Amino acid sequence: MSEMPVIAFDGIKKIYGEGEARVAALAGVSFEIMRGEFVAVMGPSGSGKSTAMNILGCLDNPTEGEYRFMGMDVAALNPQDRALLRRHFIGFVFQGFNLLKRTTALENVELPLIYRGMDATERRERARRALARVGLAERESHTSAELSGGQQQRVAIARALVSDPAVILADEPTGNLDTHRSHEIMKLLSELNERLGITVILVTHEEDIAGYARRHLRFRDGLIESDDGAKAA
Protein backbone atom coordinates (compact mmCIF):
# COMPACT_ATOMS: atom_id res chain seq x y z
CA MET A 1 0.00 0.00 0.00
CA SER A 2 1.42 3.40 -0.98
CA GLU A 3 1.99 6.02 1.68
CA MET A 4 -0.76 8.58 2.25
CA PRO A 5 0.21 12.17 1.39
CA VAL A 6 0.41 14.57 4.31
CA ILE A 7 -1.15 17.21 2.07
CA ALA A 8 -3.29 16.80 -1.05
CA PHE A 9 -4.78 19.63 -3.11
CA ASP A 10 -7.26 18.49 -5.75
CA GLY A 11 -8.58 21.16 -8.10
CA ILE A 12 -8.31 23.94 -5.51
CA LYS A 13 -9.79 27.28 -6.55
CA LYS A 14 -10.04 30.50 -4.59
CA ILE A 15 -12.24 33.20 -6.11
CA TYR A 16 -12.58 36.75 -4.85
CA GLY A 17 -15.24 39.20 -6.01
CA GLU A 18 -17.98 38.84 -8.62
CA GLY A 19 -18.62 39.87 -12.18
CA GLU A 20 -15.96 42.16 -13.63
CA ALA A 21 -14.28 42.29 -10.22
CA ARG A 22 -13.91 38.51 -10.10
CA VAL A 23 -10.33 37.37 -9.46
CA ALA A 24 -9.13 33.78 -9.34
CA ALA A 25 -6.28 33.81 -6.82
CA LEU A 26 -6.09 30.05 -7.39
CA ALA A 27 -7.52 28.71 -10.64
CA GLY A 28 -7.49 24.94 -10.12
CA VAL A 29 -4.39 23.70 -8.33
CA SER A 30 -3.55 20.05 -7.65
CA PHE A 31 -0.50 18.59 -5.92
CA GLU A 32 0.52 16.16 -3.16
CA ILE A 33 3.21 16.52 -0.49
CA MET A 34 4.53 13.45 1.26
CA ARG A 35 5.80 13.12 4.83
CA GLY A 36 9.35 14.42 5.25
CA GLU A 37 9.49 16.55 2.11
CA PHE A 38 11.06 20.02 2.09
CA VAL A 39 9.14 22.08 -0.46
CA ALA A 40 9.71 25.67 -1.56
CA VAL A 41 6.64 27.53 -2.85
CA MET A 42 7.68 30.31 -5.21
CA GLY A 43 6.20 32.81 -7.62
CA PRO A 44 5.82 36.54 -8.28
CA SER A 45 3.49 38.78 -6.32
CA GLY A 46 -0.11 37.86 -7.10
CA SER A 47 0.79 34.38 -8.32
CA GLY A 48 -1.34 32.59 -5.71
CA LYS A 49 1.39 31.27 -3.43
CA SER A 50 0.24 33.19 -0.34
CA THR A 51 -3.38 32.15 -0.92
CA ALA A 52 -2.24 28.54 -1.19
CA MET A 53 -0.32 28.84 2.07
CA ASN A 54 -3.34 30.29 3.87
CA ILE A 55 -5.42 27.32 2.73
CA LEU A 56 -2.63 24.88 3.66
CA GLY A 57 -2.55 26.37 7.16
CA CYS A 58 -6.34 26.11 7.52
CA LEU A 59 -6.50 29.90 7.80
CA ASP A 60 -8.77 30.17 4.75
CA ASN A 61 -11.09 27.88 2.80
CA PRO A 62 -11.06 27.20 -0.94
CA THR A 63 -13.99 28.22 -3.11
CA GLU A 64 -13.85 24.90 -4.94
CA GLY A 65 -11.83 21.70 -4.80
CA GLU A 66 -10.73 19.35 -2.04
CA TYR A 67 -7.97 19.80 0.52
CA ARG A 68 -7.00 16.71 2.50
CA PHE A 69 -4.60 16.91 5.45
CA MET A 70 -3.31 13.51 6.59
CA GLY A 71 -6.35 12.01 4.92
CA MET A 72 -8.86 14.37 6.56
CA ASP A 73 -11.20 16.40 4.35
CA VAL A 74 -10.52 19.85 5.77
CA ALA A 75 -13.71 21.33 4.29
CA ALA A 76 -15.75 18.84 6.31
CA LEU A 77 -14.30 20.13 9.59
CA ASN A 78 -16.07 22.79 11.61
CA PRO A 79 -14.10 25.90 12.69
CA GLN A 80 -13.29 24.39 16.09
CA ASP A 81 -11.90 21.21 14.54
CA ARG A 82 -9.84 23.21 12.03
CA ALA A 83 -8.40 25.17 14.96
CA LEU A 84 -7.51 21.88 16.67
CA LEU A 85 -5.86 20.64 13.49
CA ARG A 86 -3.71 23.79 13.36
CA ARG A 87 -2.90 23.55 17.05
CA HIS A 88 -1.83 19.90 17.02
CA PHE A 89 -0.40 19.27 13.56
CA ILE A 90 0.89 22.53 12.03
CA GLY A 91 3.70 24.80 13.17
CA PHE A 92 3.90 28.33 11.76
CA VAL A 93 7.02 30.46 11.23
CA PHE A 94 6.48 34.01 9.96
CA GLN A 95 8.69 36.74 8.51
CA GLY A 96 7.93 39.06 11.44
CA PHE A 97 8.70 36.45 14.18
CA ASN A 98 5.36 37.27 15.97
CA LEU A 99 6.86 36.98 19.45
CA LEU A 100 5.42 38.62 22.54
CA LYS A 101 7.89 41.40 23.26
CA ARG A 102 7.85 41.49 27.05
CA THR A 103 7.89 37.77 27.68
CA THR A 104 10.90 35.50 27.79
CA ALA A 105 11.98 33.11 25.06
CA LEU A 106 10.79 30.21 27.19
CA GLU A 107 7.37 31.78 27.77
CA ASN A 108 6.98 32.48 24.05
CA VAL A 109 7.72 28.85 23.21
CA GLU A 110 5.26 27.64 25.86
CA LEU A 111 2.30 29.53 24.36
CA PRO A 112 0.98 26.80 22.01
CA LEU A 113 1.01 24.34 24.90
CA ILE A 114 -0.97 26.72 27.11
CA TYR A 115 -3.68 26.78 24.44
CA ARG A 116 -3.66 22.98 24.51
CA GLY A 117 -4.24 22.99 28.26
CA MET A 118 -0.97 21.28 29.16
CA ASP A 119 0.14 21.51 32.77
CA ALA A 120 2.93 23.95 33.63
CA THR A 121 5.63 21.41 34.47
CA GLU A 122 5.28 19.43 31.26
CA ARG A 123 4.98 22.45 28.99
CA ARG A 124 8.06 24.08 30.53
CA GLU A 125 10.06 20.90 30.02
CA ARG A 126 8.95 20.63 26.39
CA ALA A 127 9.66 24.31 25.76
CA ARG A 128 13.19 23.91 27.14
CA ARG A 129 13.76 20.90 24.86
CA ALA A 130 12.54 22.90 21.85
CA LEU A 131 14.86 25.81 22.66
CA ALA A 132 17.76 23.39 23.03
CA ARG A 133 16.97 21.95 19.58
CA VAL A 134 17.44 25.40 18.01
CA GLY A 135 20.58 26.17 20.00
CA LEU A 136 19.09 28.66 22.47
CA ALA A 137 19.07 26.74 25.75
CA GLU A 138 21.15 29.46 27.40
CA ARG A 139 18.79 32.24 26.23
CA GLU A 140 15.52 30.98 27.70
CA SER A 141 15.19 33.87 30.18
CA HIS A 142 15.89 36.61 27.62
CA THR A 143 13.05 38.73 26.23
CA SER A 144 12.70 39.48 22.51
CA ALA A 145 14.33 42.89 23.00
CA GLU A 146 17.43 41.13 24.30
CA LEU A 147 17.74 38.82 21.28
CA SER A 148 19.09 39.39 17.78
CA GLY A 149 16.82 38.96 14.76
CA GLY A 150 18.27 35.54 14.07
CA GLN A 151 17.78 34.48 17.68
CA GLN A 152 14.18 35.72 17.61
CA GLN A 153 13.50 33.60 14.54
CA ARG A 154 15.05 30.61 16.31
CA VAL A 155 12.63 31.18 19.18
CA ALA A 156 9.79 31.30 16.64
CA ILE A 157 10.98 27.99 15.16
CA ALA A 158 11.17 26.47 18.65
CA ARG A 159 7.58 27.63 19.23
CA ALA A 160 6.57 25.92 15.98
CA LEU A 161 8.38 22.74 17.04
CA VAL A 162 7.12 22.48 20.61
CA SER A 163 3.83 20.82 19.62
CA ASP A 164 5.62 18.11 17.57
CA PRO A 165 3.85 19.16 14.36
CA ALA A 166 3.58 17.04 11.23
CA VAL A 167 4.15 20.12 9.08
CA ILE A 168 5.96 23.43 9.48
CA LEU A 169 4.72 26.27 7.26
CA ALA A 170 7.43 28.93 6.94
CA ASP A 171 6.27 32.14 5.26
CA GLU A 172 9.31 34.20 4.15
CA PRO A 173 11.13 33.22 7.37
CA THR A 174 14.32 35.05 6.35
CA GLY A 175 12.65 38.21 5.05
CA ASN A 176 13.78 40.36 8.01
CA LEU A 177 17.28 38.88 8.34
CA ASP A 178 20.66 39.65 6.80
CA THR A 179 22.34 37.13 4.51
CA HIS A 180 24.41 35.40 7.19
CA ARG A 181 21.50 34.94 9.59
CA SER A 182 19.20 33.92 6.72
CA HIS A 183 21.44 30.99 5.89
CA GLU A 184 21.75 30.07 9.56
CA ILE A 185 17.96 29.82 9.79
CA MET A 186 17.70 27.80 6.59
CA LYS A 187 20.40 25.38 7.75
CA LEU A 188 18.45 24.95 10.97
CA LEU A 189 15.20 24.21 9.10
CA SER A 190 17.06 21.74 6.87
CA GLU A 191 18.54 19.96 9.89
CA LEU A 192 15.15 19.72 11.58
CA ASN A 193 13.59 18.38 8.39
CA GLU A 194 16.30 15.73 7.98
CA ARG A 195 16.72 14.80 11.65
CA LEU A 196 13.11 14.86 12.81
CA GLY A 197 11.35 14.06 9.53
CA ILE A 198 9.09 17.10 9.80
CA THR A 199 7.56 18.18 6.50
CA VAL A 200 8.62 21.76 5.75
CA ILE A 201 6.78 24.02 3.31
CA LEU A 202 8.58 27.30 2.66
CA VAL A 203 7.31 30.39 0.87
CA THR A 204 10.14 32.50 -0.53
CA HIS A 205 10.95 34.70 -3.50
CA GLU A 206 14.71 34.24 -3.07
CA GLU A 207 16.37 31.60 -5.21
CA ASP A 208 19.27 31.00 -2.81
CA ILE A 209 16.87 30.42 0.07
CA ALA A 210 14.72 28.11 -2.07
CA GLY A 211 17.88 26.16 -2.81
CA TYR A 212 17.67 24.56 0.63
CA ALA A 213 14.45 22.80 -0.41
CA ARG A 214 14.52 19.56 -2.39
CA ARG A 215 11.35 20.35 -4.32
CA HIS A 216 10.10 23.60 -5.85
CA LEU A 217 6.48 24.49 -6.66
CA ARG A 218 6.39 27.61 -8.83
CA PHE A 219 3.09 29.50 -9.07
CA ARG A 220 2.00 31.94 -11.76
CA ASP A 221 -1.45 33.45 -12.37
CA GLY A 222 -3.13 31.13 -9.87
CA LEU A 223 -1.72 27.94 -11.37
CA ILE A 224 1.34 25.77 -10.84
CA GLU A 225 3.81 26.74 -13.54
CA SER A 226 6.30 24.02 -12.62
CA ASP A 227 6.89 21.30 -10.04
CA ASP A 228 10.35 19.73 -10.14
CA GLY A 229 9.53 16.93 -7.70
CA ALA A 230 5.92 15.87 -8.12
CA LYS A 231 6.84 12.23 -7.50
CA ALA A 232 9.28 12.92 -4.67
CA ALA A 233 8.87 11.03 -1.41
11: alpha, beta or left? (left if phi > 0; alpha if psi -120 to 50): left
Please write the tens of the pLDDT for every residue from 42-67.
999 899 999 999 999 999 999 999 99
Is residue 45 domain-resident? yes
Residues 97, 33: Cα–Cα separation, whole Å? 25
Asked if residue 39 lies in contact with residue 201, where contact means CB atoms within 8 angstroms, the answer is: yes
State the pLDDT at residue 233: 40
Residues 121, 61: Cα–Cα separation, whole Å? 36
Task: Enumerate residue ranges in the chain where pLDDT < 70.
Answer: 1-2, 230-233
Is residue 88 domain-resident? yes
Domain with 123 in it: 35-60+79-227
State the pLDDT at residue 231: 52
Is residue 152 domain-resident? yes
Q: What is the CATH number of the domain that holds 90?
A: 3.40.50.300
Report which of 230, 199, 194, 196 is spatially closest to residue 215, judged by C-alpha positions. Answer: 230
Is residue 220 domain-resident? yes
